Structure 1
Amino acid sequence: MEVHPRARERLLDATEDLAFTQGVAATPVDEILRSAGVAPATLYAHFGNKEGLITQALERRLMRWDEVWQSAIDEASTPRERLLAVFPALGRYRMSVPAARWCAFLGVAAESPHPGPQLQKTLASDTQLLTARLKELAVPVVAADHADALVAQLVLVYTGVLGMLLRGMDTERAVGLGLHIAGAVIEAAEGSRR
């Protein structure tokens, strides 16, 4: 007997499959409902509205990203490798989740000029995770007084990689270039410490 995921999970899966590839505004609720095989009442019972569904899909996505990134950090053997682990983690992550044109968080943020409080909080949590973890990992590499500047540069490189994915660059190539550029940025930061 075939096991069907619960309606809530089917809605989240359909949201990732559709809204994060086509865009939130371009994906009608009816299309998500049809793909998930559920009635509108199910969506409203679990998520309240479309924005609630998008918020929960992003939260689930962030949890998955956090796990993949932490695993890459755990596998790294030096402080520098742990700091750079965000790039190979991005490559792994993109292979393990439903496709998105680039970054679901950036895409939703671009399409949501006035997000509700919960969506706004979820969008901010992605940035918070990225910057806080990079800062924590940067301190053993360049010391606390240089960490903020290095993190700002690494976030810019990381975001550039995501932008190149949107422009159609192959994930492996984009991640490889990002890793190379980030390595040079770290070397420059280490050099300025000496």
Structure 2
Amino acid sequence: MTPFSATRPARERLLAAAGELFYESGIAATGVDAVLARAGVSPATMYAHFAGKDGLVAAYLEDRHTTWRQTWDAVLAECTDPVDRLLSLFDAVARYRQHQGNHRGCAFLAAATELPSGHPGQRWLAADTRLLTDRLRELAAAAGLPGPEDVAATLLLCYDGALSGYARAATTPVLPGGDPIDRARRLAADWIAARTA
């Protein structure tokens, strides 16, 4: 990939380059020099915007979290049926992937395996978990489902499994059952239907 256009602000170029490289290769495997080369900026410029690599990682995760939350908000705004609103999690992932071109699984799940305790990026991993669990619990309660906590935990398991399925598909192109998110949505819908029958 070539460096980003110099007409974009340096901070934006750094975040875009970090987003691509951290997602493609992993946070630990991506050196600052690779990010600087792709962004087309100097080390001094990076340090003017971020407190080193850890600060850049945290900003990358914050940016991803914001985009993901906005995508899910937009999908939710289009739903009126309470169960569809609950299942909107999976529709939002499909839309996010369509717009962002993500094909390697969840950046937050990957980062959780790489970031040590106390890393500034941990704040955004926690924010992602809170968004998922709190919103799913609230949507389950609004849909009148018994045990909203259990519903949220079960749907989160389907969600995490589907995103892991994308990571597996990166090395095994043909997986049975079709697209992991479509399959997870069907499983979740069937589970909800059985729970309310």
Same fold by TM-score greater than 0.5: yes
**CA deviation vs aligned residue, 1:128-155 (integer Å, no higher than 9, x gap):** 0111111111102234x51000100000
Q: Any residues of structure 2 matched to 1:168-179 within 5 Å, and which?
A: 168=169, 173-179=179-185
Identity among equivalent pairs (%): 40
Q: Any residues of structure 2 matched to 1:91-130 within 5 Å, and which?
A: 91-99=94-102, 101-116=104-119, 118-130=120-132
Structure-2 separation of matches of 1:3 and 1:113: 34
Aligned to 1:187: 193
Q: Following TM superposition, where does structure 1 have runs of at least 4 consecutive aligned residues deviating by more than 3 angstroms?
A: none
CA RMSD of the aligned region, Å?
A: 1.9
Deviation at 1:70, TM superposition (A): 1.0
Greater alpha carbon shift after TM alignment, 122-131 vs 91-100: 91-100
Structure-2 separation of matches of 1:76 and 1:53: 35
5+ residue gaps, structure 1, are none
Name the amino acid aligned to 2:179.
Answer: R
Greater helix share, 1 or 2? Answer: 1
Deviation at 1:26, TM superposition (A): 1.0
TM-score by length of 2: 0.89
Structure-2 separation of matches of 1:13 and 1:100: 17
Greater alpha carbon shift after TM alignment, 147-156 vs 61-70: 61-70
Deviation at 1:38, TM superposition (A): 0.5
Q: Any residues of structure 2 matched to 1:15-94 within 5 Å, and which?
A: 15-94=18-97
Deviation at 1:125, TM superposition (A): 0.3
Name the amino acid aligned to 1:167.
Answer: R
User: How many equivalent residue pairs?
Assistant: 188
Kindly indicate whether the alpha-carbon contact (under 8 Å) linking 2:15 and 2:56 is maintained by their aligned counterparts in 1: yes
Structure-1 separation of matches of 2:102 and 2:147: 36
Deviation at 1:98, TM superposition (A): 5.0
